[in-house]
Amino acid sequence: MSGFVMFISQIFNGLKIGSVYALVALGYTMVYGIIRLLNFAHGDFIMIGAYTLMLSIPALAVMGLPAWTAVIPATLVCALVGVLVERLAYKPVREKGNSMTALITAIAMSLLLENGSQAIFGADFKTVPTIISIPTLTIGQLKIDGATIVSIVLGVIMMAAMQLYVKRTKQGKAMRAVSEDKEASLLMGINVNGTITLTFAIGSGLAAIAALMYCVSYPQVSPTMGMMLGLKAFVAAVLGGIGSIPGAMVGGLAIGLVESLTKAYIGTITGGVITSAFSDAIVFAILIIVLLVRPSGLMGEPETEKV
């Protein structure tokens, strides 16, 4: 019985971190969908969001506001940084260079953000004040902590909201149109550059919410915190099918589950040959297998070149 309870709590653990991955993956996917750029700096937006949370929580407390309201300045700061990165770096490079130079620019932006915040905040870990305290939910032997509940609920709400936004609203339709064909969208009177900027703002804003979810569970920030998180989320986006919103969700949750389950069980299953230290490698191995079998990811649209 306790084995089963442990299994269930591992599932919840996986869903918790998986929701964070999913939200970040959503940002990756939206940006990739619209400008075909792997935005390596996206993981660093989480870091920026986390630092903003760290700084704004005490300030808001002075004003008598609850800690979670810090997500508002965090979202605004992230969206602003995202838009600036797009306008100052990606847009000029996109107009002059090719996909390879765009990718290098994204990597350089990632380095810039990491080293910039290192210069400002220092390289060491800093603690984020408690954001939300929700009592642990106990069902029989099963204990689910508040952070897990918050993450999963928030994740699901954001996903559903984004899906509705992209499918139903005018701007959402513009986004889909631009990602299909920029020139045709231009001819249809869509403000292409405006749409791209909006996409960046939303994608980066989502990273701030992901930062909140992450900091609820792991209240620590450092300049390089976004690197591995971003990489995993990126894997999630590709796994789900980059460019697809439901794909980002599926991919994110899948990566979260794989990670928590391999950490818990891989040692016993393989008799200690492969230990939990391999969990990152397993995540990448799954990605590789999926890409080889379905090159466009689980839910992505296959791209073929017409002869």
Partner 1 sequence: MKKSALSMKQSYIVCAVGIAVLFGLLMAVCESGAANTYIKGILMTCCIAVIMTTSLNLTVGVLGQLTLGCCGFEMIGAYSAALLSKMIVAKGIAMDPTARFLLTIFVGAVIACIFGILVGIPALRLHGDYLAIITLGFGEIIRVVLQNIPAAGGVGLDKGQAGQALIGIDRIANLYVVFWITVITVVLLFMFARSRYGRAVKAIRDDEIAASASGLNITYLKVLVFAISAFFAGLAGGIYAQYMGSLTPAYAGWLQSTNYVIMVVFGGMGSLTGSILSAIVLTILPEALRAFSDYRMLAYSVVLVVFMIFRPQGIFGSWEFSLPKLINRIIYRNGRGGAAKAAIAAEIAEFGDVTATAAAAETAEPAGKEA
Q: Which residues bind partner 1 (CB under 8 A)?
A: 32, 36, 38, 89, 92-93, 96-101, 103-105, 107-109, 111-112, 115-116, 118-119, 227, 231, 234-235, 238, 242, 275, 277-278, 280-281, 284-285, 287-288, 291-292, 295, 305, 307
Write down the least CB distance from residue 67 to partner 1, Å: 31
Indicate the residue among 112 and 257 with the shorter CB distance to partner 1.
112
Indicate the residue among 11 and 103 with the shorter CB distance to partner 1.
103
Task: Name the CA dihedral angle for 148, 220, 263, 209, rounded to a multiple of 10 degrees.
Answer: 50
The Cβ-side half-sphere exposure at 148, using a 13 Å CA radius, reads 17
Write down the least CB distance from residue 208 to partner 1, Å: 22
Indicate the residue among 112 and 186 with the shorter CB distance to partner 1.
112
Indicate the residue among 157 and 228 with the shorter CB distance to partner 1.
228
Write down the least CB distance from residue 60 to partner 1, Å: 30
Longest dimension (CA), the chain: 65
Write down the least CB distance from residue 147 to partner 1, Å: 27
Other C-beta atoms closer than 10 Å to the C-beta of 292 total 8
Terminal C-alpha separation, the chain: 59
User: Which of 149, 153, 199, 233 has its CA nearest to residue 34?
Assistant: 199
User: Which of 24, 65, 37 has its CA nearest to residue 231?
Assistant: 24
For residue 34, give the amino acid letter: I
CA-CA distance, 166 to 174, in Å (whole number)? 9
Write down the least CB distance from residue 88 to partner 1, Å: 8
Indicate the residue among 12 and 234 with the shorter CB distance to partner 1.
234
Q: Which two tokens stand for residue 294?
A: 């379905």
